[in-house]
Amino acid sequence: MIRNYDKLIFELSKEGRTGYSLPKNELKEQHCICRLPANLKRESAPGLPEVTEFDVVRHYTNLSNKNFGVDTGFYPLGSCTMKYNPRINEEISALPSFARLHPAIPVEAAQGALEVYYNLAESLSEISGLGAFTLNPYAGAHGELTGLMIMRSYHMQRGDLKRTKVIVPDSAHGTNPASAAVCGLQIVEVKSTANGTVDVEDLKPLLDDTVAGIMMTNPNTLGIFETEIPEIARLVHECGGLLYYDGANLNAVLGKCRPGDMGFDIMHINLHKTFSTPHGGGGPGDGPVGVRAGLEALLPNPQVKKDADGKYYIDTDDKSAGYVSNFLGNFAVLLRAYTYILTLGRENVKMVGPLAVLNANYVKESLKNEYYLPIEGVCKHEFVFDGLADKSTGVTTLDIAKRLLDYGYHAPTIYFPLLFHQSIMIEPTETESKETLDEFIAVMKKVAAEAIENPDIVKSAPHSTPVRRLDETTAARFPKTTYKQLLG
Amino acid sequence: MKYFPHTQQDIQQMLEVAGLKSMDELFGEIPQQLLFNREFNLPEAMSEVEIRNYFEALGKRNSDLVCFAGAGVEDHYSPSVIAPIISRGEFLTAYTPYQPEISQGTLQYIFEYQSMICELTGMDVTNASMYDGTTATAEAMMMCVAIAKKRNKVLVSATVDPKVRRVVETYAKYQGVVIETIAEKDGVTDLADLEAKLAADDVAGVILAQPNFYGIVEDYTGVADMCHAKKAQLVMNAKLSALAVLKTPAEWGADIACGDAQSLGIPMTYGGPYVGYLACTNAHVRKLPGRIVGATTDVDGKRAFVLTLQAREQHIRREKANSNICSNQSLMALWVTIYMSVMGNKGLNDACSLSYSGAHYLAQQLVATGKCAMAYDKPFFNEFAVKTTVPAQQVLEALLANGILGGVRIADDTLLVCVTEQRTKAQMDKFVEIVNNI
């Protein structure tokens, strides 16, 4: 019954129904909105649904039943760090003493909130080995853009205007080149070696006085640690460039090594990956940006600081790369991340990376007979298969992903990284138990067996989901993106 | 640790399968000098009891004030049904809906969100949401430049919220886009200045606000024609809640509408999370950044929803992308979708009516004290600027001492005061009484 629910909220609408209650307008006689000049008013009413409060509750509850979250089951989506999202984080983030704060409130009346911001920034500095953090950027991509703005400002303020190139490995997330382009930088790609790491010999000739810096993920998108990072850092610094660390994969090394110690100058962190804040179906997250000592002034405005008496205040700096947000970032997300760090404490933060890496290696070693592992060796928090080991079945990575849905799993990341044709990128995080992983391994083996014995059932999967494979071509060719367009 | 399920036995067995002898071997390839070998300088782990106590104590160091501040963030009513629904784990803990077969919940509410945003703004198409209103406006600026191809100048009215303008200016700076400010005259955009700045035929877009930063509802009659005659796109940053009543960006002839949806019942939470919106006419859909959800059918012919027009997006276009946006503010889009569903057109109108009446009552009463005068003689909605005879800071301090956040100081002698449907007549009368006693 539940999964057959297929109404849009508009289709529940009936003229005259309401779902709200507001106080009576005692001032209407004297100050009626009807006095607003007619030429400033809209001509026809917006077509919003007319439904009761209960309609709304039941409708969205039914929609939620057609969704799969970390709470529902195992979510081995590579590069996304789908770890458990603790409920205490949610409770703290909704406390009225924070939720009711207007951003323009005087700092004396917001000392508690500013302390959260300040302490979280300090904690991230300690964890990542960089000097100072802004928490203002709203997401990972937004953090990247902010970090690149800082990189450009650094060069511009030194009067070095010719540095407009940024080097990006060919294994990078698509966001890296896109962020660089939006920041007005040209992208130069550096190749990977056969074992998936940056080819230092290919890098060397690229380094000249037009290079603003390099963007790297470490471990990279293949889950492999870039062991040559000290040498890469030396080379890039020698040519006058800066190193940017894409924190998408920070979970792998959390507690084990720090981007600052690797030689990175600027980085972003995805609080919604590493620090357990929920992904919310695509956001909100938060993308704090850290810089090494000496670059603090370039962090975006406004900046939160503490004076000699321990009082927090909001400052702006003329050297700042600029303003990237409305105020101090997604504050409720900051509350969640800080709660998580305090819950883990110093003794458990250092276990996150090791346990995540243990889980990844366990799954990788358990499945490498059935799936093709292009790069052998110890991986970090994630790893990539290049499709099935048996290449004769005609079953693709997409088919495998869809078949996993039938068995109650979210699919891994597929067709990324672009280095392989049939990439299946698996990231089991540290919050998954051996039993969960064992069940997943068994299902992955079963799907591999099905691909040989009964390939059609895999190719036509999924079979048991609320809807089955979708016609994406028609959706793009004749876009219907609103209810009005759907009605035609 | 309650978030780690590994027993010692599990760890041993798993290491064995992985062909390793110790946990350290998992990081064996990392150069020794990079390994972090000391204790973190962080507090010790806290229990849930201690966490609650800690944040309760911190919360007490924030003041709970009666809010008359606006300037882009307003203290609106939030229906009780929203928080419990968006807290459902199926919504809260899902990732981007990349597997549509098990993400129809997210995809459908985004489709509903898109439908409602288009109803309020009158625009043809919107994306699945942006981070906030400031970045949505910066993306609108980038769209204008992408649409114009060979122009890189965008005009922004001085009556647009300075917080929006400075983010637009930051994004523009790194892209070599020139931002010029259109002067203001008597609290509204100086249309003569706009016309003069359009004359050189080099403007890609014009960004205006409705209501503007001072709460004034501007009369943009003829402005779209003026822009289009010079092949410039008209961008309108409009407050969504007010669009239940006000002429829509589409009716004014805008090509792009953008802004923040915080006014649709999202808690203020010291600046976020909110949700930005970005909508446009059909002509520009291929230049619209971010996710878009479309309707389609599955192999059995069942109606379903899916991320569509992805050829526009950064993960496909990489360095050729017009925007690096690769997420949306999905959960907050759900927040405002539920808000619009519960309120409906009638509820939105009632909220506007209460806010409007309250603001006009308070403005009238403040002027009657003789200590305030309206800064501008223009039609306003639920926010207004008043000149104060004593320094505005002094007025704010007197109100603060009485538990009232009296507004936002925008000049030494000018306050921006905002009234929402949550403010009572008693609260406003107290506000007036305090000002009267200064």
Residue position matching structure tokens 């959960």: B331
- B91/B185 same-domain check: yes
- B258/B188 same-domain check: yes
Q: Which residues of chain B have pLDDT under 50?
A: none
Give the C-alpha separation, A484 to B346, whole Å.
20
Q: Which residue of B has its CA nearest to A123?
A: B42
Query: With bands split at pLDDT 50, 70 and 90, how would you rate the model's confidence at A418?
Result: confident
Element spanning A304, H or E = strand A303-306
What residue segments make up the domains of chain A, in order of their start? 2-64, 88-343, 351-473
Query: With bands split at pLDDT 50, 70 and 90, how would you rate the model's confidence at A171?
Result: confident
- B218/B311 same-domain check: yes
pLDDT at A2: 54
- B141/B250 same-domain check: yes
CB atoms within 10 A of CB A18: 16
Contact A40 B247 (CB under 8 A): yes
Contact B79 A366 (CB under 8 A): no
Question: Tens digits of per-residue pLDDT, A359-399?
Answer: 999 999 999 999 999 999 999 999 999 999 999 999 999 99
Residue B17 belongs to a domain: no
pLDDT at A317: 97
Question: Residue B55: which of A19, A92, A182 has the nearest Cβ?
Answer: A92
Give the C-alpha separation, B141 to B135, whole Å.
10
Residue A1, pLDDT > 50, answer no
A 249-308 → B contacts, CB under 8 A: 253, 255-258, 261-262, 276, 278-285, 300
> Could you tell me if A315 lies within 8 Å of chain B, comparing CB atoms?
no
- B100/B187 same-domain check: yes
Can A88-343 and A351-473 be said to share one CATH topology? no
**Mean predicted confidence (pLDDT) in A442-454:** 98
Domain encompassing residue B199: 82-338
Which of the 8 DSSP states describes residue A110? B
How far A35 CA lies from chain B's nearest CA (Å)?
Answer: 9
Query: With bands split at pLDDT 50, 70 and 90, how would you rate the model's confidence at A174?
Result: confident
- B139/B209 same-domain check: yes
- B360/B332 same-domain check: no
**For B247-263, b where at least 16 C-beta lie within 10 A, e where not — what string?**
bbbbbbbbbbbbbbbbb
Contact B61 A115 (CB under 8 A): yes
Asked if residues B260 and A103 have their Cβ atoms less than 8 Å apart, the reply is no
CB atoms within 10 A of CB A377: 14
CATH number for the domain harbouring residue B161 = 3.40.640.10
Residue B19 belongs to a domain: no
Give the C-alpha separation, B325 to B14, whole Å.
39
Q: Which long-range contacts (CB under 8 A, 24 or more apart) does A152-156 make?
A: A152/A183, A152/A184, A152/A185, A152/A212, A152/A321, A152/B174, A153/A298, A153/A319, A153/A320, A153/A321, A154/A242, A154/A295, A154/A298, A155/A212
> Considering the domain A351-473 in this protein, what is its CATH number?
3.90.1150.10
Query: With bands split at pLDDT 50, 70 and 90, how would you rate the model's confidence at A172?
Result: confident
pLDDT at B319: 73
User: What stretches of B281-396 adopt beta strand conformation (E)?
Assistant: 293-297, 303-307, 372-374, 383-388
Question: Tens digits of per-residue pLDDT, A138-157?
Answer: 999 999 999 999 999 999 99
Give the C-alpha separation, B289 to B312, whole Å.
7
Give the C-alpha separation, B89 to A71, whole Å.
6
Residue position matching structure tokens 């001085």: B158
SS3 A269: coil
Number of domains in chain B: 2
User: How big is chain A, counted in residues?
Assistant: 488
Question: Tens digits of per-residue pLDDT, A229-250?
Answer: 999 999 999 999 999 999 999 9
The residues with which B380 forms a beta bridge, in sequence order, are: B216
Domain A88-343 CATH assignment equals 3.40.640.10? yes
**A433: its two tokens:** 């138990």
Asked if residues B138 and B190 have their Cβ atoms less than 8 Å apart, the reply is no
Asked if residues A217 and A382 have their Cβ atoms less than 8 Å apart, the reply is no
User: How big is chain B, counted in residues?
Assistant: 438
pLDDT at A3: 54
Question: Tens digits of per-residue pLDDT, A35-75?
Answer: 999 999 999 999 999 999 999 999 999 999 999 999 999 99
Contact B272 A331 (CB under 8 A): yes
Burial class (CB in 10 A: 0-12, 13-18, 19+), B97: buried
> Could you tell me if A367 lies within 8 Å of chain B, comparing CB atoms?
no
